[in-house]
Each structure stands twice: as structure tokens, then as C-alpha cells.
Structure 1
């Protein structure tokens, strides 16, 4: 295949004729391609799948991580072990394209690999690698580990995604109408394009930006002198950088620069759009921020038979299918932990990236109530935890290990490793209750509950991210009512949320599941239906064209 003057290899729908290059640090398109860590990748993976289904004129630009994010293994005592295994992908095509970019004032060779649309049903995806014999060892390691803990390596990764991605697009001759930065990791593309277009106005015309971070402190900032030394600014002096970005202090805020360079930006839920506008309004020169709520791809995630039996109102087959999905997932539980779970028992699952604000071990913060819940013979429960902490986030790793230690005392608690796409889908099928308890308003969107609903799980959540747009308490989900969080300390907020979670579990969910299963099934099916109305990624991919790219 000739990659010069590249065109997407399918008939483009005229409605989506505008050419878009979509930059993301991670893409979770399918289990075998391990170049993702969590929610950002799950989101961009679904976006590329929907772009393909709708025949949009889009290409993805990412990085081919040699060791992925990391492989989650166990130490002898079952605690978390971070391991690194080289990944080999024979389904990727070598484009034959090689070129150099400057990193730290030195030329670094880049090669581009290609994932064709027909392999995993996605828009075309180009993945960059510096793991080449022409490069010195330090340059080779740029594409070894996703989100490398070393600051200089991380800045080099940002340069590769941004500058390397923008230069690849020129090598391809793709000439996009819009460069879409999914998070600010690829912002260095803006400095490359500034050199190319010689005009801030022209740059703004082409650049759009999606922010996923609902608090200022969470946005990437790096020493401006380090960025300059590493050639992040594509030859601009620090004075010139300050002039074009308006950033006067010594910490370069990637998101703030993106918001000043872009013609338009979006938050990833209605609530997050509101939070983002409030957060950034004190900074002059920031572009408008709209909302496009995240979504997930039905074709990839949903259990089709559950939907068929629900549509046919065949309750017997629906119940039988859900029970079988639970039984199949419990084989993984037994294999990893030696515990035999019961498909007839209400199963609560908490599974996502381990991060402090997501409060993985929240239910265990009141051990008296937790013991009562876990040992109730009238209303038995099973709980599964899974997720990957960031490999250098030691508080999150300690939290994971604490849950492992706790689980050894109970037959009905399991902590699983290897939380990637395949296990994620199985655990959503295992769940009767998908537990989501971030500290409001820290979750920009969160999408795991969408795919849980597509597999017959009921969301039990704090009222954050996408949930306010979806939840109808007691009809399609269960939601902790928002407290007066602004006047509460963190400890008071945690206590309020925890009390409400337990009240909902003890007084509503458990009696309903065991005493009125017909109504429970209706809630499950309402959630399955409602999640398709607004939270399927074809709607999202369409809105990006209609609202952001136009």
C-alpha cells in the first residue's frame, strides 16, 4: 500500500467529509493492542470505532508503546507486582515512512506503523515508534513505557506525539482541516504548525482541543526551560513562547496553551463543561469551551443477546443469559483467587483505574457496616475489585494491596489483576451493581458505567461526570443525592457519601434484588435502553463533527 497522498481506505460519508487528524496518547481499540492505560484510551478507542462505522474522514495518531502501560502481576503474597513485557504485533503494517524530529536539539529517527481499518473495525490508526537501531538507547526508550515516570522522557513523548504526529501527517500528505488534540499531551503539534502556517490565526482555524481534567492541578505543567532545552517549542525562544502563549511564569501549562491556541475546546460531560468554563475563565485569551459528553461503542461493548431477549421481553431467557455471563466471569475469579462465586448472588463490582479521588476502598471505610454487608445471610453479596494503579502511585498501590489483604479473610470478596479491555468486559457482565463512587466533582466523565449498563449491570454512583445526564434514581440506576459539598470538608463529604451509599444498598438495592426481582430486571433493562439513547459513541462521533470540527 502506498502511504503518500493518503486517503482513508473506504467511501467517506459526505456528512463527515472534513479531514480530521485525532491525536491521543493512548488508544484502546482491542485487547491484543496494549497501548492504553485506562479511560482516555477506552474513550479514544470507541471514538475510532464509531468514526469507522459512520465512515468519517478521520485518522488516529498515537504511539506504539513497546512495553505498553505495564503488565499487572502478583508477588508471592498476592500483592501487586509491576512487570514489563515486550509486545509484538504482527497485525500492524510498516508504512516504510522514516523521518527525523528534534528532541533535546538532537535528531531522533521516527518510524510509522499502521493499523488498517479492517483489522479491528476502526478509522485508520498510525502509531509512532523511536525504537529503532538508528537511535541511541535513550532515544529508543521514548516509546518504551506509556506515561513514563521520568519527567524528561515524558516531555520527549509529548514532543513525539505532537511534533512527530504533525510531521507524519505532512509525510502522508493528508492535509487535515482539523487537528484534534484529545488531551494536551500532543500540544507540541501547535508549535510545529505555527512554524508551518506562520500565523496564529491560521493555527487557530485548524486546532481543536478536548480537555478531560476537571481540576487545574491535574493539568500537565513542566518547567518552561526544560521544555525549551528539549526542543518542545520547535525553535521558538522562551520570549517568543511567552508572547504567543501568554504564559509568563516558569511552569508551562500545556492545557492553558492548548486553550489559547485552539479555535474551540470541549469538556467531556455537561457538568465537566460547566466546571471547565468556571476553572479557566480567569485566564484571558481562552477559547470557548462547549460540552460533548463521552460515550462508548455499542458494537464492541454490548452483549447482543441480552439486548435481543430484552427487546423480545423474554424474561426467562434474559435472566438465563445474565446468569450465564456471571458464571463465565466467575471462572476468571476462581482461576485467579481460588474462590467459587455464585451466579444467584448479588454481585457488586468496582473496577477502573486506581486513583485517590475514585475511592476504590470506599465501602471498607466503615468496617462495622462493611462486615454487616458482607456477612448478611438474608441478602448475600459478592464483591469484586480490579484496576491498575499508576506504577509509581504508591498510595494507590497500597490501596490495592490493602484490598488484597482484606479479601483473604472472606470467601465472597475477590481482587483481580490484569484489568484491560477483555477483563473489563467480563466484569461488567459479572456485575449486578456497578459501583462508581468518585469524589464530586472530580470525575470529568467516567465511562465504565455506560459499558456496564450495556451488559445488564445497574449503576450505583455518586452524582458526577456523565451520571447527572443519565440517572433516574430507582428507574435505571441508583444515585447518591448531591450534598452541599461546597460547605463540607473532604472528610465530611466522604462521610456523607458513604452513609448514603450504604443506605441505598441496604434499604433499596438488596431488598429489591432478592424480594422483587421482576422490578429489579425492569431497572436493568431501563438502564440498557437509556444508555443507548445518549451514550453510544456514534452519537458522540457525530457531535464532534457537528459541534467541534465545524
Structure 2
């Protein structure tokens, strides 16, 4: 293939002919390609598959992480051990393209790999790497580990994605009308374009759109402004010009705020998150309009077809048989990892996602007595599984993970699994009866794991945050902790309130329904499957990005 005059290798649907470049630090496309850490990657992966489904004129730009995020292994006592293993991918094509970008006032070589759309049914994708012989050791490490803990390395990664990705479009002679930043990591693309257009910010704004994923200001990344400048983040723009553009006079550079000032339009990732974001950023002058486009997951990839067929044919026997079979498959993984033999006839709860403090993985354990009673309930027996990858330097979350592992030694019906990537995620969604989601409201911008769980007949039990208010009908397609006046509560009070409500709903509504009224339970499962299929399918989301973000010229 001639990459110097690259063409999208399939016929474009006229409705989606606006030419888009989509920048993301991570993409979860398939188990074998380990270049993602969690929800942001799952979301970007579904977006790329839907872009292919709908034949959109879109290319994805990411980084080829030599060691991925990390491999989640165990120490001898089963606690968490992060390991880094070099990854090999024979299915990626060497484009032969190499070019230099400036990082820390020095030229760094960038090599480009290509993922053909037919391999995983995605939009065409390009992955950047600095791990080439021409670079010194420090430069090589830029593309080694996703979200490197070293601040300078992390900034270099953002520069590689943004500046490197924008320069790649020029190298490919691939004209793009829209540069879509999935989170602010790729913001150096905007400064590359600003330099290219001779400082014409209006011209940059015409092309730039931005998706924000963080519902509170403290969670948005800020780095030392002088360090960013020294790292060549701003493509030659002076410190004074950057300060004037970003609009703050402190020592920290706010990536998201600057993205909102350089973009034509932006979006939050749920209706609620859009409201929260508009309120949060409105105090800053000169930011762009923030719309809402609710995240979604690719139904073709995630949904269990046989479960849906049985539902559509009103065959309860086959539906129940299929769900039990999916549980048995999951329980083989549980047995293999932990030595615990789970029963497919027993109600199974799963909590699985990235471990982060606000997601409160261990909330049910805050009341040890009640937890003990839940796991020793002979009338309504329960099995419970945890899985997820803490950030390898987030010692608080690793401690939570290890505490759960230690607690699981006391119960034969409790398990903590490692390796929470696409394959295990799919198994957990297929094999769970209940998908537990209990973030502190309003900290979860969207939270998409419950969508793909619902696509596999797993019922959501959640606090009322992220996408849940748009989906949930309590007792009909899910179960929801009723919101209360969280703003006037301490964290301790909020955690206690949510904990008690979760137990009340579990003990008084969910377990009696599952065991005493299986027909009603099946109806709730099937309502969830119906309600999630279209509204939270990423084809809807990919369409909305074109209608709401890409096609809105100002």
C-alpha cells in the first residue's frame, strides 16, 4: 500500500463524509492488542468499530505501547504484582513512514504502524512508536508504558500523540477537516496546527473538537507550565502567549481548560456529565460550547446473540439455559485462578472496572457483619466476584485490591480475579446475574461497563450517576440507589447512605425476586437487553458525533 497518498480502503457513506482524525491515548479493539487500560479505551474501541460499521471517513490515531499498560500478575500470596512484558503484533503493518518531531528541544524519531480495517473491523488506525534504533534510550521509553508515572515522560507521550499524530496526517497527505481529541491528552495537535496556520487560532478552532471525560475540576490534568514549555509541548509558542490563551496566571497548565478554549465545540459523555461540565467550566471566559453525547458500547461486539435470539423467540427455557451456560464458562476462569468452585444455580454479583477511590470497590465490605450475612445467607445464597486493574502507582487502590484478596480467603463464594482486559470483561458480563456499580455521585462521567453487561442479561445495581439516569427504571430494567442531597453530606455520610441502600435493595428486592419469582427476574433481564440495545449501542453514538460535533460548522 502507498501510505504517502493514503486513501480510506472502503466506500464512504455519504452521510459520514466529513474527514475526521480521532486521537486517543488508548484503544481497546481486541484482547490481543494490549494498548489500553480501562473505560476510555473500551469507549474508543467501540467508537472505532462503529465507524467501520457505518463506513465513516474517520481514522484513529494512537500509540503502540511496547509494554502495554501492564500485565496484572500475582505475588505468592495472591496479592497484586504489576509486570511488564514486551508485546509482539505480527498483524500490524509497517508503513515505512518515519519522521521527526521536537520533544524537549530535541528531534525524536517516530515510526508508524498501520492496522487494516479488515483485521478487527475498525476504522483504519495508525499507531506511533518512538522505540526505534535511531532514538536514544530516553526517547525510546516515551512509547513504552501507557500513562507512565514519570511526569516528563507522560508529557512526552501527549506530545507524541498530538504533535506526532497531526504531523502524520501531513506525512500521509491525508486532509482532515476535523481533529477530534478524545480527552485532552492529544492537545499538542492543536499547537502543531496553530504553528502550521501561522498563529491563526480561528483556523485551528474550525478543525478542533474535544471530548471531556472528567466531571470535576480537580480530576482534570494540570502540569507545570514551564515544564510543558521546556518539553516543546507548545510547538514554539512563547510562555506569555500560552498564558494569554489558556487564561490562567498560575504556574500550572490546565490541559482541559486550554482544549475548551482552542476547540470549536466540545462534549460531555452523558446527559448528566454535560450539565455538570457546563456548570463547572462556565466561570472561565472564552470556552467553547459543551454538548452532551452519551457514551455507548458496540452491540455487535458485546451482545450475546444466542441470549437475544432466545429472548426474541420468547423461549424462556433456552434463555435460562444459555445464561447458565455463560455462568459455567465464567466459573471455569474463577476455578482456574482461585481454586473456588462456583455454582451456576447461585445468584452471582460482579464488581469489575478500573480500581479508583471514587468507584468504591470495597463499599460492601464497609459493614463487615452485613457482608458476612450476605455471603452466608442459606435461603438466598450469593456468590461475588471482583476484577479490575488499579493504576500501578495508585497504592491506595492496590491496597483495596489486596484487602479484597485477603478477605476472599475467608469465603469459598468470593473471588478476586486478575487480568481485567476485553476477554475477561466479556466473560464477567456474560456470567454475572448482577452488575454492581457504586461510584460516588457525581464522580462518574459515564461508566460504560453496565451497558455491555446489560447486553448479556446482567442486571445493573447502581448509584444514580453517569449514563444510569438515562437508562434505569428501578425494578423494571435495573435497580438504582435513590439520589439524596449528596452536596450537603460528608463523604462518610454519603458512603454510609449508599451502603445501606445497596444492602436494602439487595436483601429486600433483588434476592427475593431472583429466587422466588424467576419469571419476573427474567423479565427485568430482558427489559434491560431491549432498552440498552439501540440507545446505548455505539452506532448511535458514532452517528451523533457526526451530527452534533463534526458537521456543526461555525
Q: Same fold (TM over 0.5)?
A: yes
Find the aligned partners of 1:81 and 1:53 in 2 and give their Cα distance.
38
- Does 2:147 correspond to 1:147? yes
The residue that corresponds to 1:487 in the other structure is 488
Asked if the contact 1:109/1:130 (under 8 Å) is kept, the reply is yes
The residue that corresponds to 1:169 in the other structure is 169
The residue that corresponds to 1:111 in the other structure is 111
Asked if the contact 1:272/1:291 (under 8 Å) is kept, the reply is yes
- Match of 1:424, SS state, is helix
Shift of 1:467: 0.1
Find the aligned partners of 2:500 and 2:247 in 1 and give their Cα distance.
46
Shift of 1:175: 1.2
The residue that corresponds to 1:102 in the other structure is 102
The residue that corresponds to 2:361 in the other structure is 360
- Match of 1:202, SS state, is helix
Find the aligned partners of 2:506 and 2:26 in 1 and give their Cα distance.
35
The residue that corresponds to 2:335 in the other structure is 334
Shift of 1:243: 2.4
The residue that corresponds to 2:386 in the other structure is 385
Find the aligned partners of 2:246 and 2:378 in 1 and give their Cα distance.
62
Mapping of 1:9-20 within 5 angstroms?
9-20=9-20
The residue that corresponds to 1:47 in the other structure is 47
Question: TM-score, normalised on structure 1?
Answer: 1.00
The residue that corresponds to 1:137 in the other structure is 137
The residue that corresponds to 2:276 in the other structure is 275
Asked if the contact 1:131/1:139 (under 8 Å) is kept, the reply is yes
Find the aligned partners of 2:175 and 2:251 in 1 and give their Cα distance.
34
Find the aligned partners of 1:301 and 1:430 in 2 and give their Cα distance.
13
Find the aligned partners of 1:140 and 1:247 in 2 and give their Cα distance.
33
Find the aligned partners of 1:182 and 1:128 in 2 and give their Cα distance.
16
- Does 2:499 correspond to 1:498? yes
Asked if the contact 1:61/1:125 (under 8 Å) is kept, the reply is yes
For residues 227-250 of structure 1, the C-alpha deviation after alignment (integer angstroms, 9 at most, x for no partner) is 111111101110121223323221
For residues 356-406 of structure 1, the C-alpha deviation after alignment (integer angstroms, 9 at most, x for no partner) is 000000100001110110000000000000000000000000000000000
Shift of 1:225: 0.5
For residues 64-88 of structure 1, the C-alpha deviation after alignment (integer angstroms, 9 at most, x for no partner) is 0000000000000000000000000
Find the aligned partners of 1:269 and 1:290 in 2 and give their Cα distance.
9
Find the aligned partners of 2:229 and 2:512 in 1 and give their Cα distance.
61
- Does 2:22 correspond to 1:27? no
Shift of 1:197: 1.4
Asked if the contact 1:247/1:257 (under 8 Å) is kept, the reply is no
The alignment yields a C-alpha RMSD, in angstroms, of: 0.5
Mapping of 1:147-226 within 5 angstroms?
147-198=147-198, 199-226=200-227
Find the aligned partners of 1:197 and 1:206 in 2 and give their Cα distance.
12
Q: Which runs of 5+ in 1 are unaligned?
A: none
Find the aligned partners of 1:224 and 1:487 in 2 and give their Cα distance.
35
- Match of 1:4, SS state, is helix
The residue that corresponds to 1:237 in the other structure is 238
The residue that corresponds to 2:436 in the other structure is 435
Asked if the contact 1:68/1:144 (under 8 Å) is kept, the reply is yes
- Match of 1:534, SS state, is coil
Mapping of 1:367-446 within 5 angstroms?
367-446=368-447
Question: TM-score, normalised on structure 2?
Answer: 0.99
Find the aligned partners of 1:146 and 1:244 in 2 and give their Cα distance.
29
Shift of 1:496: 0.6
Find the aligned partners of 2:226 and 2:286 in 1 and give their Cα distance.
23
Shift of 1:5: 2.2
Find the aligned partners of 1:533 and 1:195 in 2 and give their Cα distance.
42
For residues 198-243 of structure 1, the C-alpha deviation after alignment (integer angstroms, 9 at most, x for no partner) is 2111100000000000010111111010011111110111012122
- Match of 2:127, SS state, is strand
Q: Which runs of 5+ in 2 are unaligned?
A: none
The residue that corresponds to 1:536 in the other structure is 537
Find the aligned partners of 1:390 and 1:415 in 2 and give their Cα distance.
17
For residues 468-517 of structure 1, the C-alpha deviation after alignment (integer angstroms, 9 at most, x for no partner) is 00000000000000011111111111111011000000000000000000
Asked if the contact 1:142/1:153 (under 8 Å) is kept, the reply is yes
Asked if the contact 1:61/1:165 (under 8 Å) is kept, the reply is yes
Find the aligned partners of 2:418 and 2:236 in 1 and give their Cα distance.
45
Find the aligned partners of 1:177 and 1:107 in 2 and give their Cα distance.
28
Find the aligned partners of 2:191 and 2:118 in 1 and give their Cα distance.
33
Shift of 1:269: 0.1
For residues 422-477 of structure 1, the C-alpha deviation after alignment (integer angstroms, 9 at most, x for no partner) is 00000011110000000000000000000000011000000000000000000000
